Amino acid sequence: MEHQIWFTAILNKILAGPVTAALVALHMPPADAAHPIPNYIAMELLVASVILIGAVILRRSLSVENPGRFQQSMETVVEFVDNLNEEVIGHGSQRYVAMIGTLGIFIMLCNVLGLIPTLSTPTGHIQVTLGAAVAAFLYYNYQGVRHNGVLGYLKHMCGPIMLMAVIMFPIELISNVGRLLSLSVRLYANMAVGDILESVFTGIFPIAVPAVFMALHLFVSLLQAYIFMLLPAIYIGMEVSAEH
């Protein structure tokens, strides 16, 4: 069993009973009934809690005349995501800012969480990155159906030449599903390898080297969060482009 982080231990102490009962009811009994919540789930919940608390604080302190630093920072983030969507998606991109921005903030916080002592990086686990990829996958496909209709969406996947539909549809289907791997494995591999290298070299060279790897971890975290916003925006643009 993996070493429990203090936050995971607290969650398991409070929620072990109901979580274990729920998993047993779903025919997925945990390996350890006393500790059914793994570290990566606990870290995800911590990040989600931070985002929700931050949203509540921001909502209560919104001000047009005298915006605080937190509001100004979040306005900068929203403007950045809005500009990204406008460049990639084009007309009507504002409606996707909330989803793309939330994905980016969630992934970024998950990535940098491991820089805090006693905590770990949840995106170093494929379950977390795959879950985020599934959310993005369902969202951009839903937007494709929403804009084009079911028949229009399927026609879009058949390509411009209907005679080639028998060939193009399976290719498009495989390519579409393959985006799950593109999103999840890229993020997982970068964060997992980064954590491993940081642990190894920190153990060998405990002086100065950890600071270098922490800086590299921060850079990779921000870069991967950006990519996780960029790719879904590209996919959305591809799905709704037929409308314009």
Over residues 34-58, the pLDDT tens digits come to 999 999 999 999 999 999 999 999 9
Report the b/e string of 7-20 with b at 16+ CB within 10 A.
bbeebbeeebeebb
User: What residue spans define the domains of the chain?
Assistant: 1-37, 43-243
What is the token pair recorded at 229? 């916003």
Q: What is residue 158's predicted lDDT score, i.e. its pLDDT?
A: 82
**Res. 243: pLDDT tops 50:** no
Distance CA 233, CA 103 (A): 11
Residue 139: predicted pLDDT: 96
Q: Give the integer Cα–Cα distance in Å for 201 and 96.
A: 41
Task: Using only the alpha carbons of the chain, give its radius of gyration.
Answer: 21
**Residue among 231, 236, 239 at smallest CA distance from 187:** 231
Quote the pLDDT of residue 120. 93
Does the reported pTM lie above 0.85? Answer: yes
Q: What percent of the chain has pLDDT over 90?
A: 66
Looking at every residue in the chain, the average pLDDT score rounds to 90
Task: Sort residue 159 into left (φ over 0), alpha (ψ -120 to 50) or beta.
Answer: left
> What is the reported pLDDT for 221?
95
Q: Which residues contact 239 (CB under 8 A, 6 or more apart)?
A: 140, 141, 143, 144, 147, 148, 153, 156
* Cα 186 versus chain centre, distance: 12
Angle separating helix axes 165-204 and 209-240, nearest 10 degrees: 170
Residues 142, 146, 151: CA angle, nearest 5 degrees: 100
Tell me the per-residue pLDDT of 123-172, one tens digit each, with 9 for 90 and over.
999 999 999 999 999 999 999 999 888 888 888 788 777 777 788 888 88
Neighbouring C-beta atoms of residue 124, cutoff 10 Å: 25
**Which residues lie below 8 Å from residue 103, measured CB to CB, with a gap of 6+?**
132, 135, 136, 228, 229, 232
Mean pLDDT, residues 170-195 taken together? 91
Specify the pLDDT at position 1: 59
* Placement of tokens 């229009």 in the chain: 152
Residue type, 58: L
Q: How far apart are the first and last CA of the chain?
A: 53
Report whether pLDDT(244) > 50: no
Per-residue pLDDT tens over the stretch 61-120? 888 888 899 999 999 999 999 999 999 998 889 999 999 999 999 999 999 999 998 999
pLDDT in tens, 199-227: 887 777 777 778 888 899 999 999 999 99
